[in-house]
Amino acid sequence: MIFWRVKSLDTILATAEKRSLHRSLGVWQLTLLGVGAIIGTGIFVLTAEAAQKAGPGMMIAFIIAGFVCAVAALCYSELSSMVPVSGSAYTYSYAVLGEFVAWMVGWALILEYSVAASAVAVGWSGYFVGLLNNSLGIEIPFALANGPFAGGMINLPAVVICLLIVGLLVIGTRESAAFNAALVAVKIVALTAFIALALPVAELENFQPFLPLGTSGVVAAAASIFFAYVGFDAVSTAAEETKDPQRNIPLALIGSLAICTLFYLLVSAGVIGAIGAQPLTDASGRGLMPGSLALAERCQSLAALGQQPIVCSREALAHVLREIGWEKIGNLLGLAAFLALPSVILMMLFGQTRIFFVMSRDGLLPEVLSRIHARFKTPHIVTMITGIGVTFAAAFLPVGKLADISNSGTLFAFLVVALAVMILRIKDKDRDRPFKTPAVWVVGPLAIVGCITLFLFLPADAKLVFPIWTGIGLIVYFLYGYRKSHVALHIKTSAGGENLIEPIRPLADYRDGFKSLKQKD
């Protein structure tokens, strides 16, 4: 039965030990990796989306989304300290819930990373267009800088940046720890400057009405803003490259999340207080849907009158600074986003290749997907295939819709991780846990309920994409992965890297921990 194809934790650890990556990352490098992945399009662009859904109440939305991520991070921390290998939620679910659920999680993570990369590309496009216009007086035609949902034809800058990043990944250019740290510093300095300039001119009347569209608008905003936090799971995908992962991964996960939450609350307070953040409504008083043609048309009509509320801006933070008289610094903030956001696209695509690599290593995807280029030594095939999908989505879809679609896959993966932690506490209670989720029977259910709630508040089209994507994944699984699975074929990876035929370990051995592995050796 596919549900009982469980790859035990001992087997996963043994496989990773024999084909592992070099461990070189410390806690600060990991934390910077997490901060670098989290701080991106979410805060630089989706602030406008959150304002349209919740108005000033978006501050509560940041807290709700941050809380759901926090309880999920505590679950991630326990599993990543127990199983410090690549694959993130996919690997954890394989060990606890079996191959079928693991496949669905891995497939959902592919959706998360690829669509998230598209969303960041669209967000970068907004800052690029604004930077050209405000700094150099160069105006890209509206139809060539916006997709159909925003009233244009194609988002050409987003297409260009996607193709450039894919090209860099194919030829082997990647970020070093120092380069990543520099880009993180750029983003932190930019956000700090925004907070320092916007908060002193904040006015209390801009916070009223605080909940113009009610509490449902706040939760709906949280479902979208969730995208601004999800980069923290990129930390766990680097588990095989981490020194002392049992200590450093939990610290980096929670530390990066705490740093970013503080920044998000201060930035949102600065936006609201400086120029206001009230949503645009229709004749009946209902909020216009972000990413809709109706909102795009309203924003165009206001622009013709010389007005641009924050909910219409594609470069929200730079726009706020220009509105309060700091035009040059607003341009510099736009430049910071222009320079830093491509690194997030690269990290998202790089993270997806890690998921593909582990699924291919398990036989669930064809080995051709992880084939290495003879000259560049990179997984060029899967990178190019992914690049085509990412570029297409960035060309025609608005950032809000892309973020919501990405969230649907992410929420499912987080839910499975929370479930896996609780199941392991029962099935494998004696295994060493360098980090234990505190109050797991409270934290785990809170994570599950939080993920389900946010999913239910996503727009209908985003909720539809996930089951459709899952259906496509199931077809691929039963046509290929079900038959080629290394667990099903009793294939074990040897120390030399070749595959050996070996009887699969019985499920009863699952509870024996490392003792059974030592006895076997």
Say how far apart CA 180 and CA 231 lie, in whole Å.
14
pLDDT digits (tens, 9 = 90+) for 56-108: 999 999 889 989 988 988 888 787 777 666 556 787 778 777 888 888 888 88
Mean pLDDT score, 296-300:
85
Give pLDDT, residue 61: 92
Q: At what angle do helices 58-82 and 214-225 cross, to 10 degrees?
A: 40
Give pLDDT, residue 447: 94
Q: What is the DSSP string of 454-479?
A: HHHTS-HHHHHHHHHHHHHHHHHIII
Within 8 A by CB and 6+ apart from 261, the residues are 62, 63, 66, 70, 229
| Collapsed DSSP state (helix, strand, coil) of residue 39 | coil
Within 8 A by CB and 6+ apart from 331, the residues are 131, 134, 135, 318, 322
Q: What is the DSSP string of 173-202?
A: ----HHHHHHHHHHHHHHHHHHHHHHGGG-
Mean pLDDT score, 208-216:
88
**Burial label, 39 (beta-carbon count in 10 A; 0-12, 13-18, 19+):** buried
DSSP classification of residue 499: E
Say how far apart CA 58 and CA 47 lie, in whole Å.
8
Say how far apart CA 92 and CA 420 lie, in whole Å.
7
Give pLDDT, residue 96: 75
* CATH architecture assigned to 25-467: Up-down Bundle (1.20)
Query: In which band, very low, low, confident or very high, does the pLDDT at 438 lie, cut at 50, 70 and 90?
Result: confident
Give pLDDT, residue 446: 95
Percent over 70 (pLDDT), the chain: 83
Query: In which band, very low, low, confident or very high, does the pLDDT at 509 lie, cut at 50, 70 and 90?
Result: very low
Q: Indicate whether 497 pLDDT > 50.
A: no
- Looking at per-residue pLDDT, the higher value among 319 and 96 belongs to 319
DSSP classification of residue 429: T
Q: Indicate whether 432 pLDDT > 90.
A: no
pLDDT digits (tens, 9 = 90+) for 101-129: 888 888 888 888 888 888 888 888 888 88
Give pLDDT, residue 312: 85
Q: For the ranges 50-54, 362-366, 504-508, which has the lowest average pLDDT?
A: 504-508
Give pLDDT, residue 175: 47
Q: Indicate whether 454 pLDDT > 90.
A: yes
Give pLDDT, residue 482: 85
Q: Indicate whether 492 pLDDT > 80.
A: no
C-beta separation of 202 from 272 below 8 A = yes
pLDDT digits (tens, 9 = 90+) for 410-428: 898 889 889 988 988 888 7
Alpha carbon separation from 470 to 50, 100, 104, 385, 476 (Å, rounded): 27, 12, 7, 19, 10
Mean pLDDT score, 278-297:
83
**Which amino acid, one-letter code, is at 122?**
V
Ranges of each domain in the chain: 25-467
The structure tokens listed for 342 are: 């491509």
Give pLDDT, residue 434: 73
**Which amino acid, one-letter code, is at 329?**
I
Q: For the ranges 219-228, 247-256, 297-306, which has the lowest average pLDDT?
A: 247-256
Give pLDDT, residue 238: 62
Say how far apart CA 333 and CA 317 lie, in whole Å.
8
Q: Indicate whether 293 pLDDT > 90.
A: no
Q: What is the mean pLDDT of the chain?
A: 79
- Cis check for the bond before 212: say yes or no (omega within 30 of 0): no
Say how far apart CA 496 and CA 515 lie, in whole Å.
23
pLDDT digits (tens, 9 = 90+) for 336-348: 888 888 877 887 7
